Chains A and B, each alone.
Chain A
Amino acid sequence: DIVMTQSPDSLAVSLGERATINCKSSQSVLYRDNSLDYLAWYQQKPGQPPKLLIYWASTRESGVPDRFSGSGSGTDFTLTISSLQAEDVAVYYCQQYYSPPITFGQGTRLEIK
């Protein structure tokens, strides 16, 4: 199984500041034939199901604010929130879909400082 490890486990950032969440996979999720990274990011607010933010490591889902961006390739990925808003308080998960079983990171809790 591909193990997804996120860091940090929790993060406190001031409003308007940048938040950065990391995700590392135990093996590459880059499919060389199409140069795509098989990685997605989700946001889960309390009492709600996960919401898709980003897929193919850096493609923003329709309707997701452009302050959210994804980067990285191979085994190392980053979700960046450029200017933290109060409504961004949530737990964030990465997910690989390169190789079954589909696996998720353990989650990163983002709070306001």
Chain B
Amino acid sequence: QLQLQESGPGLVKPSETLSLTCTVSGGSISNSDYYWGWIRQPPGKGLEWIGTIYYSGGTDYNPSLKSRVTISVDTSKNQFSLILNSVTAADTALYYCARGKVVVSGAIWQSWFDPWGQGTLVTVSS
């Protein structure tokens, strides 16, 4: 059974860099049927897609965050990572990693997310 686990600092200072890692167990991150994503949820609020990566390294980012986000993959460690630069209090959120199913429909390749990690709370504060 595939499981995902987020890890990283729970507190980041304003203007600094948020860095999280998602470790995948029970399956290979190199499975070509799937891609890997980051989604966040501010406390008490809804879900925001951050970005997605395919095992080969191809990425897609939310334009609202694109200038500050980098997602990378390490297939040797079965991990993928999120870097978010120049954070502010607005970046305080529960950060989830999740697996997505590749669908092939013309230019469309992303789909639903399942399963999700338990999430890790990142607070931006001095």
Binding site for B on A (CB under 8 A): 1, 31, 33-34, 36, 38, 40, 48-52, 55, 61, 93, 95, 97-107
Closest CB of chain B to A10's CB: distance in Å? 13
- Which A-B residue pairs are the 4 nearest by beta carbons? A49-B116, A52-B114, A40-B112, A102-B49
Chain B 37-66, CB within 8 Å of chain A: the 1/0 string? 100000000111100100000001011100
- Count of chain B residues near A, Cβ 8 A: 27
Q: Count A-B pairs with CB separation below 8 Å.
A: 68
Complex partner residue of A100 from B110, B112, B115, B119, CB under 8 angstroms: B110
Is there a chain A Cβ closer than 8 Å to B86's Cβ? no
**Are the CB atoms of B114 and A98 closer together than 8 Å?**
no
On whether the beta carbons of A34 and B105 are closer than 8 Å, the reply is yes
Assembly CA distance A102 to B52 (angstroms):
10
A1 to B105, CA, bound (A): 19
Contact check: which of A50, A99, A101 meets B64 at CB < 8 Å? A101
> Could you tell me which B residues sit within 8 Å of A by CB distance?
37, 46-49, 52, 60, 62-64, 96, 98, 101, 103, 105-106, 108, 110-119
Chain A residues near B37 (CB-CB < 8 A): 102
- Say yes or no: A103 contacts B118, CB within 8 Å: no
